[in-house]
């Protein structure tokens, strides 16, 4: 169960209480004046991550993958994925001229 920090609404005494996550602050009893009602305070906490990854490892890995893919895409022929505007000749049938940018014979 987590430890919460409170400030009593009656006597302003600050105290800690180990409570369920579902406990309501207004039902918390002050240990000094036994008054009902307290304000839950925000407090800092410390954590330690154990493992072999350095700080920013995931972000660095993502950028590395992005750079690798961009390098692969740069090797593709320039015509791939290039959009050509549709002309009436292209819609008329098989005897029409090939679209511009297509140098097939």
pLDDT of residue 88: 77
Q: How confident is the model at residue 25 (pLDDT cuts 50, 70, 90)?
A: confident
Q: State the total domains in the chain.
A: 1
Q: Has residue 94 been placed in a domain?
A: no
Least confident of 32-36, 59-63, 93-97: 93-97
Q: Has residue 29 been placed in a domain?
A: yes
Q: Has residue 62 been placed in a domain?
A: no
Q: Are 49 and 63 in contact (CB under 8 A)?
A: no
Q: How confident is the model at residue 11 (pLDDT cuts 50, 70, 90)?
A: very high
Q: How confident is the model at residue 52 (pLDDT cuts 50, 70, 90)?
A: low
Q: Has residue 31 been placed in a domain?
A: yes
Q: Has residue 77 been placed in a domain?
A: no
Q: Which domain holds residue 27?
A: 3-41
Q: Has residue 11 been placed in a domain?
A: yes
Q: Has residue 60 been placed in a domain?
A: no
Q: Mark 20-34 as b/e (b = at least 16 C-beta within 10 Å).
A: eeeeebeebebeeee
């Amino acid at each position: 169960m987590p430890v919460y920090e409170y400030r009593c609404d009656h006597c302003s005494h600050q105290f800690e209480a180990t409570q369920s996550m579902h406990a309501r602050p207004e039902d918390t009893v002050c240990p000094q004046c036994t008054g009902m009602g307290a304000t839950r305070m925000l407090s800092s906490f410390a954590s330690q991550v154990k493992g072999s990854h350095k700080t920013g490892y995931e972000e660095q890995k993502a950028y590395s993958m992005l750079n690798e893919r961009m390098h692969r895409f740069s090797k593709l022929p320039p015509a791939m994925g290039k959009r050509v505007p549709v002309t009436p000749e292209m819609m008329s049938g098989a005897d029409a001229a090939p679209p511009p940018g297509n140098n097939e014979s």
